[in-house]
Amino acid sequence: MKSIKKYLSLIKFSHTIFAMPFALIGFVLGFQYLQNNHLYFTKNNFNFYLLSSKLLLVVICMVTARSAAMAFNRYLDYKFDAKNPRTSIREIPSGTIKPFNALVFTVACCFAFIATCFFINKLCFYLSFVALFVILFYSYTKRFTALCHLVLGLGLSLAPIGSYLAITGVFQIIPLMFSFIVMCWVSGFDIIYALQDEEFDKSNQLHSIPVLLGKKNALIVSSILHSIAIIIVIYAGVSMHSSYWFWTGTAVFCAMLLYQHSIVKPEDLSKVNIAFMTANGIASVVFSIFVIIDLLVNK
């Protein structure tokens, strides 16, 4: 039991709250597509076993892919983490988990992800290698580009379109919109989170938007990315002829984005963790709940 807790801490399992709700949005969008096209449906009935098994496979994919990405990031960065007072207590630098064991855990999660995609459909199986490349490659990007935040956003943005493909096997513009929302939203709040390590990153030749532009300008870039996310949310809502359920969720989502920018200042980073975890957690969960209700009720 202690070992499980160690690895859950290593991969920050609680942070699954950011992408998982959007994966569920993608799944419900796929469900709606199947219903509209009379696939797996007979009159008003549907193949419950098939859809529930697909949902289970999507959840497993989300957990294994994210676990692989986080474990690999911790493995690759453990020497930097050991130098940084903020991260020196993490599992690998503190000696709780050995680097080799973290790497083995990463490989096991990668194989589990690929195997699960194999049982979903051929398209997801082929794309699983692309997805793994993106989410694992992110860990290298801070070594050579300040655009690392966008790569992280890209990795998490695969959640809605990936779950949509798992159930439908086809690309559509609406789930792609939600992927762009995730990419801009995640990239924006990752820039805020990176403000804490600006000086450390500079002294260790690591790259980030705060290192490149400074705290004040980094917050401006974050605000622009979050503004783009809000614009796409509104456009998606209009395109889907959404009801008040969607717009209620959108109001909460926008409020949480505005809130985190109101409490984080270049000269005061004391509330970064509140902005990062609390505000974004609420934004993701509440927004997704209302969007899913809208999709199920407003057919």
Note the pLDDT of residue 78.
93
* Phi and psi torsions of 77, nearest 5°: -100, 5
Note the pLDDT of residue 2.
64
Q: Which domain holds residue 159?
A: 2-297
Nearest to 80 by CA among 163, 174, 247, 203: 203
Tokens standing for 47?
């193949």
Length in residues, the chain: 299
Count: domains in the chain:
1
CA 13 to chain centre: 12
- CATH number of the domain enclosing 66: 1.10.357.140
Torsion of CA 61, 89, 14, 286, to 10 degrees: -130
Per-residue pLDDT of the chain (299 residues; tens, 9 = 90+): 667 777 777 777 677 778 899 999 999 999 888 877 766 655 555 666 777 888 999 999 999 999 999 999 999 999 999 999 998 898 899 888 999 999 999 999 999 999 999 999 999 999 999 999 999 999 999 999 999 999 999 999 999 999 999 999 999 999 999 999 999 999 999 999 999 999 999 999 999 999 999 999 999 999 999 999 999 999 999 999 999 999 999 999 999 999 999 999 988 888 888 877 788 888 999 999 999 999 988 76
Note the pLDDT of residue 42.
53
Give, as one character, the DSSP assignment of residue 299: -
Distance CA 37, CA 47 (A): 14
Distance CA 72, CA 137 (A): 10
Distance CA 242, CA 258 (A): 23
* Phi and psi torsions of 41, nearest 5°: -120, 140
Whether 174 and 239 have beta carbons less than 8 Å apart is answered as yes
